[in-house]
């Protein structure tokens, strides 16, 4: 995605008022989410030791920011991409029972991002994870969880409207569930991103089920690493995948807007299968993977919810740099300033 400059863009809040609104959104949303999903807050690491398998691989090709530790015989550490596997490890370490979980503030540096309205070098999100029973590993449980998250989004959107009545709500009353396989069959001549655009524009808010596994055209809708989301198990609809993305229609930019990637996590069986499909069975020897395969970790569901993205969406901002401090190309700063988009 290249930089989008909306026609006749007008910011709804001054920068100093925006800072107040950001705090209100973050404080309220995390409390609402914790109540809806039975989560408690924990402290998270900014970096992890390389070679443990605890850091996420995202699509399996991105490189983490890394450094050596002088006080530990130059052992290598890397800044987290997200905390999907670390959270699952913590659920097991804390002995959190089914139906309960944890959330944390995750901060990352992703140097490989193309910098635009939605993508920044700095990533901040609420990473959450919840212990479930083996029998909860199904689409019905996934959908119920998505509905609770979406209800939390709408509650905070209404709070923003109460505080700032000129920022009117745009989210539909309900979120629509769509399978990536069905979209591929419905729009065989469109790219995955074009399919997302058609569906999200039509419904306003969707949960797109099934990212990572091959669809009817032999290609995945989107990339997923093999060791956190379960994208290979056949679900109740007869398609592969127990995961997905929450996409909202962004009325400021006129594009689909991903606010969360989440899913039921791999079982020992699906982990081994997905490692084989991705051609990396050797990862089974890493610490995290070995614990999972040996049955030492609980069954879980989890995901990440973008903090800056949520603030950007609810405050009707045109650029993520209006709600977070980061680094941007000089030309992008100039183009945004000329359009009345003030980056922090």
Question: Residue 282's CB: how many other CB atoms inside 10 A?
Answer: 9
Nearest-Å Rg of the Cα atoms of the chain is 20
* pLDDT 10s digits, 255-297: 999 999 999 999 999 999 999 999 999 999 998 999 999 999 9
Q: Which of 85, 100, 97 is nearest to 37 (CA)?
A: 100
Question: Residue 123's CB: how many other CB atoms inside 10 A?
Answer: 23
Place of tokens 């001054």: 14
Global pTM reads: 0.94
Q: Which of 219, 242, 217 is nearest to 302 (CA)?
A: 242
The domains of the chain, with CATH numbers, are: 15-338 (3.30.930.10)
What is the sign, positive or negative, of the torsion defined by CA atoms of 153, 46, 81, 44? Answer: negative
Judge whether 255 and 263 are in contact, CB under 8 Å.
no
Which residues are known catalytic residues? 56, 110, 125, 245, 258, 261
Q: pLDDT tens, position by position, for the chain (344 residues)?
A: 689 999 889 999 998 999 999 999 999 999 999 999 999 999 999 998 888 878 776 655 667 888 999 999 999 999 988 798 899 999 999 999 999 999 999 999 988 888 999 999 999 999 999 999 999 999 999 999 999 999 999 999 999 999 999 999 999 999 999 999 999 999 999 999 999 999 999 999 999 999 999 888 888 898 888 999 999 999 989 999 999 999 999 999 999 999 999 999 999 999 999 999 999 999 999 989 999 999 999 999 999 999 999 999 999 999 999 999 999 999 999 999 999 999 98
Cα–Cα dist 195/178, whole Å? 11
Judge whether 306 and 158 are in contact, CB under 8 Å.
no
Question: Residue 236's CB: how many other CB atoms inside 10 A?
Answer: 9
């Amino acid at each position: 995605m290249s930089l989008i400059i909306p026609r006749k863009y007008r910011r709804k809040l001054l920068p100093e008022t925006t800072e107040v609104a950001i705090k209100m959104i973050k404080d309220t949303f995390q409390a609402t989410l914790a109540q809806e999903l039975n989560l408690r807050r924990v402290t998270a690491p900014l970096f992890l030791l390389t070679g443990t398998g605890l850091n996420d691989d995202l699509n399996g090709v991105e490189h983490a920011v890394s450094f050596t530790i002088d006080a530990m015989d130059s052992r290598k550490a890397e800044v987290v991409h997200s905390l999907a596997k670390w959270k699952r490890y913590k659920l097991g370490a804390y002995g959190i029972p089914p139906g309960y979980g944890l959330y944390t503030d995750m901060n990352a540096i992703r140097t490989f991002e193309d910098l635009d309205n939605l993508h920044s070098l700095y990533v901040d999100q609420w990473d959450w994870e919840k212990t479930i029973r083996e029998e909860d590993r199904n689409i019905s449980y996934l959908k119920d969880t998505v509905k609770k998250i979406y209800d939390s989004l709408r509650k905070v959107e209404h709070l923003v409207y109460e505080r700032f009545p000129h920022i009117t709500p745009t989210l539909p009353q309900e979120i629509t569930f769509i399978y990536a396989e069905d979209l591929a069959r419905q729009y065989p001549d469109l790219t995955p991103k074009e399919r997302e655009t058609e569906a999200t524009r039509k419904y306003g808010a969707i949960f797109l089920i099934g990212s990572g596994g091959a669809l009817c055209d032999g290609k995945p809708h989107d990339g997923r690493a093999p060791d956190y989301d379960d994208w290979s198990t056949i679900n109740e609809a007869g398609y592969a995948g127990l995961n997905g993305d929450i996409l909202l229609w962004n009325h400021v930019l006129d594009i689909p807007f991903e606010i969360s990637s989440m899913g039921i996590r791999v079982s020992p069986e699906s982990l081994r299968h997905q490692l084989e499909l991705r051609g990396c069975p050797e990862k089974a020897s890493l610490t995290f993977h070995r614990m999972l395969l040996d049955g030492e970790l609980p069954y879980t569901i989890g995901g990440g919810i973008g903090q800056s993205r949520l603030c950007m969406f609810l405050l009707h901002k045109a650029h993520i740099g209006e709600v977070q401090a980061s680094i941007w190309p000089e030309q992008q700063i100039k183009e945004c300033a000329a359009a009345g988009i003030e980056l922090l």
